[in-house]
Amino acid sequence: MGNNQSCDVVIIGAGFAGITASRELSRRGYDVVVLEGRDRIGGRTWYKDDALPGHSLELGGTWVHWFQPHAFAEISRYNLELVETIGVSAPEIAATVTGGLRKSVPYEEASAAIESLMEMVVQDAREVLERPFEPFYHQDALEVVDKLSIQDRIDGLDLTPEEKDLANGLWTAMGSAPCGDVGLVAALRWYALSGFDINAVFDTVGRYKLKNGTRSLIQAIADDSSAEIRLSTPVAAVEQSDDGVVVTTRQGDTLRAQYVVVAAPLNTFGAIDFSPALSAAKQAGISEGQPGRGSKAWVHVRGDLPKPFFAVAPENHLINYVVTDKVLDDGQLLIAFGPEGADLNASDVDQVSAELQKLFGDLEVVATTGHDWASDEFSRGTWCMFRPGQTTRLLAELQKPEGRVFFAGSDLANGWNGFIDGAIESGIRADREIHARISGNPS
C-alpha cells in the first residue's frame, strides 16, 4: 500500500454497509478505498460454494423480503430472483420440546398457539414503534419497555410452563442469544417492521432468500462502484487531525483520507485504536457489545422425519430451532440454530447429531457445516439484537460522526438492525452525511 497514498474516503469493512457506501460515494465522483480484513466481501453474509457436498449455502445472513425496503430496492435494481425456505413457507409438522419431552403435531394444530404466544410478547409494539424506521418517535414509551428483556416479558405473562418454554425457544432463535440478554425492543422492532403481523414476521425474517445467494447482491453493488476494494487488509488504527485521517493497517501501511467510514460490526470496534479516543457512549457500547452470539448449522440428515417441518426447544438446548430448507432424495437439508455459538461446533457430526436427537430421536447426520461467527475476529457475534437499555442509551450515539470519522453497519440501523436491509440503510446514511460535509450542504 505504501505510505504516500491518499484518497477522499476510506471505508473500513466490505459488508453490505461498506460496499453500499462505497458505491454511493464513488458514483458521486469521490475517490474511495475499501479496506477489508477478510479475503472476501460480504461481512456476516457468506454464500459458500460446496459448503456441503453438492450444496452452496448461506453460512451467515440469508433472508430478505419486500418489507425490507432498502434491500428489496437493490434486489429490484439488479433484477435478482428469490426462492423459498420450505420449512417456513409450508411446514407440515411442528416439533416441540418442553420439560425434556418431545412432541410432534401437525403444524396446523400448533400454529394458532405459536402465533398467540409470539404476539403476547410484542403486544405493545404499535404504541412504542408506530413508525418503526423512526425508533425514537415515541421516546417516552420506548424508554419504558427498553428496560425489559424478552425474558422479562415472557416471565410477566400468564403462561403455563410449556407455553413459556415455547415462547422462550421461538424468541431465542430470533435473538441468537438467551432471551434474558436480548432487549424487548428488538422483538417489538421485528414485529413493527413486519406490519404488526406475526405471520409476516416469519416470512420477513426466514422465508425468502436470493436464488443465487447473498453474494449475487453484494457483488452487483460492488460492480456498480468505482471504489478500490483491498481484501486481507485489517485495520489497526485510525488517527484524525484537522487536516485529515490516517488509517494504519496491521501490516503497518498507511492511507491518508479526508474522511473515514467505520462499517464494521460493533463488537469489533475495540480492535481498532482510535485517536482521539471515541466518545464515552461509543466506548460503553464497545465494552458492553451486542449479545448476538448463536450458531447456525446446515445439516444433511437421513431418518424418519416429517416433510417439511420446523422444531423448537428452549434456550438450554445448543440447537433449539430447526427448519427444513430442502427435501432431498435421501433425506433433508436442515437449517439449525442455537443460542451459544462458542459451545456448538457446527462441523462436528457427533455433537450436532446428539443435539438434534434431543429434538427428534433417532436420525442419521450425513454431513454438517457452519461458521463460528462468535469467535470470528471480524464479526465477534451474529446479527445484532441490542441488550436491554441499549437502544435508548446507545443507538443514536453510535450513529453520530466523530470529527472526520463516520459510522455505518447493520448494527447501527434505525430500521432492520442486524439485517442486510439495515446495513444498506446505514451505508446510504453514511454517504449522505459525508457528502453533506464535503459539499457544505447539510440538506
Domain boundaries, the chain: 6-44+213-291+379-439, 108-193
ω before 308 within 30° of 0 (cis)? Answer: yes
Q: Is the dihedral of CA 41, 19, 395, 67 positive or negative?
A: negative
Fold of 108-193: Guanine Nucleotide Dissociation Inhibitor; domain 1 (1.10.405)
pTM of the model: 0.97
Neighbouring C-beta atoms of residue 242, cutoff 10 Å:
6
pLDDT tens column, 266-310: 999 999 999 999 999 999 999 999 999 999 999 999 987 878 888
CA distances from 149 to 186, 336, 386 (A): 9, 24, 10
Q: DSSP labels for 348-365?
A: -HHHHHHHHHHHHSS-EE
Cell triple for residue 260?
A: 473515514
CA distance 19 to 229: 9
CA distance 175 to 153: 14
Helix, strand or coil, per DSSP, at residue 45: coil
H or E element in which residue 74 lies? helix 69-77
pLDDT of residue 361: 86
CA distance 164 to 157: 9
Contact at 8 Å (CB) between 301 and 363?
yes
**Cβ-Cβ contacts under 8 Å for 276 (sequence gap 6 or more):** 240, 403
Contact at 8 Å (CB) between 209 and 172?
no
Residues of the chain where predicted confidence (pLDDT) is lower than 50? 1-2
Neighbouring C-beta atoms of residue 160, cutoff 10 Å:
9
CA-wise closest residue to 382 among 290, 301, 314, 297:
290
Q: Which residues are annotated as a binding site?
A: 235, 337
Architecture of domain 6-44+213-291+379-439: 3-Layer(bba) Sandwich (3.50)
Q: Which residues are annotated as a binding site for FAD?
A: 235
pLDDT of residue 89: 84
Q: Which residues are annotated as a binding site for substrate?
A: 337
